[in-house]
Amino acid sequence: MVTVTVPSQRIVYQFRIMCSRIAAIMYRILSRLSVIFLTLIFPVGVFAAPRPVDLLKVDNDEIVTRGDFIRAAVNILGLSIKEGGELPYPRIPRGLIPYISTAYNKGALDHLGDDLRLGQGITRGDALLLLVRLMNLEPELSPSRSFRDAPKGTLLGDAVQTAVEHEWMESFSGSLFGVRRILLGQEARLLLGRLGKEVTIPKKPERIQIRFSLPEQKELPKKDILQTIWDLLNKQFLYDDRIDPEEAAYRAAESIVQSMKDPYTTFMRPVSARNFQTQIDGEVSGIGAQVEYVNEILTIVSPLPGSPAQAAGLKPGDQIILVDGETVIGLGFLEGVEKVRGPKGSSVILRIRRNGADFDVTVIRDTVKVPEIKISWQGEVAVVQLIQFGRSVDNGFRSELIEIQKRKPKGIILDLRNNPGGLLHAAQSVLANFLPLGSTFAIIRTRGEEVRELTDTSPTIDRSIPMVVLVNGGSASASEIVAGALQDTKRARIVGEKTFGKGTVQQVIEFNDGSSIKMTIAEWFTPSERKIDGAGIKPDFALANTDNRDEQMLKALDLLR
């Protein structure tokens, strides 16, 4: 799985009716793919920032992050700042520590979980819970209105009731308050302003328009029918309390994407999008296995080292047929994955199909930290194992290779067995250590162009040091980019079994409510233009392991000695 991410470029949309919302999503996706290079030097939506001090340093239609809102709320309420102090949360930026400490000591952060994820957009519900806890407020009146997404008698329901009493925020509709909607800059400023404090509320910003051409814009099919259906349901459907605009929009988006019949193109609701992001960040919850959707069946690419899946004996190529007695064949990739996942410590019974035989396996779920880089030595040969191509590899691999070079090894074994891939840039970071600056390591072909991907830093490992790369059927995507490039350039010899054969590139585009679309946008080829999708990388020395011996590792060591 190769994923190209576009950080900090989020698509902003706000529509009241389902059809318009869907049309905007499709238009924005096409627009972003065409304008991405323009935005690097002259961003669409450049705003003239107001001069008065503004505690929320985001534009009116941009997402307000959890960290920004906590800092603004603590400041606007005039709370006594708690300097420093020990916090139970990971990755707190130094500049936010005083504000997080203040909110933590007020007991205002419990609802945000064990990892605050301060760069994530804050929802309307989370913002209200934070405020009422910071202010020690409780509802003064019995609830006059009830919302389906904020039931009476719950903490969230009480926070919403307080907001209604004080006229802090308007509900999304008569029966839905909109607690799961992501808070945008303008609404956040209005909310903070209604606390009775002075806060800058800028006028509607003037956008600088950039004209650009799209390949060919396609209107949403049958949009007049969809609009009419939505109008009829809202006006005449008997059970009006069942009308949920957000659920309808999500299901429509899912149906559009599923009609593409591409297992790697998926629409992810906010929860699924967060789960996907934690996987790339190096943390996987559930059974601890990387999976792909092959012929409408969840198929294990590789169990992670030390994971519950590995402990239960699951292997690459295993197909998951049933989860706790329910079929997941044809259910969809994300829906199937959500069935397999569950709370830490809970058990799940998987019906596994292996080589035509079906059997049940019980797995105890857990949270698995992915140790992406493992380095060991076999005498004077460095063995570098990469578990996946995530952010740890992207950020830390080069420093590890510098240390290896200092020891002047007689050879390097790069072990990519059961590595399912990850970030394209992480693959580039790995290859830059072994290939000359400016070397082509992959050819990316989209619908409209061909791009040669080049290494952008000088190598850390001397070319005189020989290399062997280990691969097997669980080596996929970014692993195949690396193995293919090293094979084509004759920098390394490949030992093992034919790789998985996934040669398409996905891009993740995130929407302002936390949902996102992961979409296939290109296919990649090796530097010599070999096709990988469906074919895989064939090793120079084809060799399978036996039950008792790692024949592939032994062959690699023999080649280097």
Count of domains for the chain: 3
Axis crossing angle, helix 124-134 with helix 155-165, rounded to the nearest 10: 80
- Please check whether residues 404 and 523 belong to one and the same domain: yes
- Please check whether residues 528 and 481 belong to one and the same domain: yes
Choosing from 20, 477, 479, 516, the catalytic residue is 477
Give the contacts of 514 (CB within 8 A, at least 6 positions apart): 120, 121, 123, 182, 270, 273, 274
- Does residue 246 form part of some domain? no
What is the DSSP code (8-state) at residue 96?
A: G
Question: What CATH number has the domain bearing residue 339?
Answer: 2.30.42.10
Quote the CA–CA distance of 64 and 82 in Å, as a whole number: 23
- Does residue 546 form part of some domain? yes
Query: Bridge-partner residues for 323, per DSSP?
Result: 326, 350
- Please check whether residues 332 and 377 belong to one and the same domain: no
- CB-CB neighbours of 378 under 10 Å: 16
- Please check whether residues 355 and 407 belong to one and the same domain: no
- Please check whether residues 539 and 393 belong to one and the same domain: yes
Look up 80 and say whether it is catalytic. no
The pairing of beta strand 516-525 with beta strand 266-268:
antiparallel
Choosing from 394, 429, 502, 515, the catalytic residue is 502
∠ Cα 462 416 273 (to 5°)? 120
The pLDDT tens digits for 43-71 are 222 222 222 334 676 777 778 889 889 98
Among 143, 167, 193, the domain-final residue is 193
**pLDDT under 70: residue ranges of the chain:** 1-55, 57, 82-85, 140-145, 173-174, 196-217, 271, 274-285, 334, 369-371
- Does residue 21 form part of some domain? no
The pairing of beta strand 440-445 with beta strand 516-525:
antiparallel
pLDDT of residue 208: 27
Quote the CA–CA distance of 155 and 63 in Å, as a whole number: 24
- Does residue 4 form part of some domain? no
Q: Convert 434-473 to b/e letters by CB count within 10 Å (16 or more is b).
A: bbeeebbbbbbeeeeeeeebebeeebbbeeebbbbbbbbb
- Does residue 266 form part of some domain? no
Question: What CATH number has the domain bearing residue 470?
Answer: 3.90.226.10
Give the contacts of 382 (CB within 8 A, at least 6 positions apart): 375, 376, 404, 407, 409, 411, 412, 413
Quote the CA–CA distance of 283 and 89 in Å, as a whole number: 15
Axis crossing angle, helix 66-76 with helix 97-105, rounded to the nearest 10: 70
The pLDDT tens digits for 535-553 are 999 999 999 988 778 999 9
What is the DSSP code (8-state) at residue 63?
A: B
- Please check whether residues 364 and 381 belong to one and the same domain: no
- Please check whether residues 408 and 556 belong to one and the same domain: yes
Among 369, 392, 418, the domain-final residue is 369
Among 173, 193, 213, the domain-final residue is 193
Look up 502 and say whether it is catalytic. yes
Give the contacts of 426 (CB within 8 A, at least 6 positions apart): 389, 390, 391, 393, 394, 397, 478
Instruction: Name the residue range of residue 334's domain.
Output: 283-369
pLDDT of residue 140: 64
Give the SS3 label for residue 462.
coil
User: Residue 224, exposed/middle/buried by CB under 10 A (0-12, 13-18, 19+)?
Assistant: exposed
Enter the tokens of residue 394: 């992207």
- Please check whether residues 385 and 524 belong to one and the same domain: yes
The pairing of beta strand 411-415 with beta strand 319-323:
unpaired
pLDDT of residue 54: 47
Quote the CA–CA distance of 59 and 318 in Å, as a whole number: 48
- Does residue 43 form part of some domain? no
By the 8 A CB rule, do 195 and 162 touch?
no
- Please check whether residues 388 and 484 belong to one and the same domain: yes
Quote the CA–CA distance of 178 and 171 in Å, as a whole number: 6
- Please check whether residues 472 and 405 belong to one and the same domain: yes
Most distant pair of Cα atoms in the chain: their distance: 80
- Does residue 492 form part of some domain? yes
Choosing from 488, 513, 515, 555, the catalytic residue is 488
- Please check whether residues 541 and 420 belong to one and the same domain: yes
pLDDT of residue 196: 53
Look up 488 and say whether it is catalytic. yes
pLDDT of residue 276: 65
pLDDT of residue 115: 82
∠ Cα 130 134 138 (to 5°)? 85
- Please check whether residues 305 and 351 belong to one and the same domain: yes
- Does residue 135 form part of some domain? yes
Expressed in angstroms, the distance from the first to the final Cα of the chain is 34
Distance of CA 199 to the CA centre of its chain: 34
- CB-CB neighbours of 211 under 10 Å: 4
